[in-house]
Amino acid sequence: MLNLLRLQAELQDLEHQLQEIRDEDDFTKSKDPIRTSYVTDFRLMRDWKNDGDSLQYDLLVSIGEKLREYSIIFISNNMFSSDSADSIYRYGSTGGLQAGHARGSQP
């Protein structure tokens, strides 16, 4: 449980950092027309990362890695919980995350 809370805090911090960078790149504050496009054009941001302008892209990659780590821990905690039938989510027989249903509710 503590791992999930730690990861939530890390994700929140990364999202805050990303928002600060996006605010700096806002078209009303930035004089760089390419950076102002990053908010709406992922491909442009990804392509320009090799030119030394990779702050937003690097943060998005870090957020993706944390979400992947969070998902693994979340799934493993729910797979081994003693009351997995009442879990909001459970690991389904198809190997994917599926919405769960509380006992007595209809799917």
pLDDT, tens only, 25-60: 876 677 888 888 888 888 998 888 888 788 899 999
In this predicted structure, the answer to whether residue 97 has a pLDDT above a threshold of 60 is: no
What contacts 3, CB < 8 A, 6 or more positions away? 73
In a domain, 106, yes or no: no
State the pLDDT at residue 25.
82
Look at the chain and report how many structural domains it folds into.
Answer: 1
CB 34 within 8 A of CB 48: yes
5-27 burial string, b = 16+ CB within 10 Å, else e?
A: eebeeebeebeebbeeebeebee
3-class DSSP assignment, residue 9: helix
In a domain, 94, yes or no: yes
State the pLDDT at residue 9.
96
State the pLDDT at residue 93.
45
Max Cα separation, the chain? 59
Q: By residue range, what is the domain housing residue 70? A: 2-99
Which residue has tokens 């390419």? 34
Half-sphere exposure of 29 (CA within 13 A, CB side): 7
In a domain, 25, yes or no: yes
Q: Mean pLDDT across the stretch 83-107?
A: 48
In a domain, 71, yes or no: yes
Strand partners of residue 91:
97
In a domain, 39, yes or no: yes
State the pLDDT at residue 32.
83
Distance between CA 44 and CA 37 in Å, rounded?
8
pLDDT, averaged across the chain: 78
Confidence of residue 81 (pLDDT cuts 50, 70, 90): low
In a domain, 73, yes or no: yes
In a domain, 51, yes or no: yes
In a domain, 107, yes or no: no
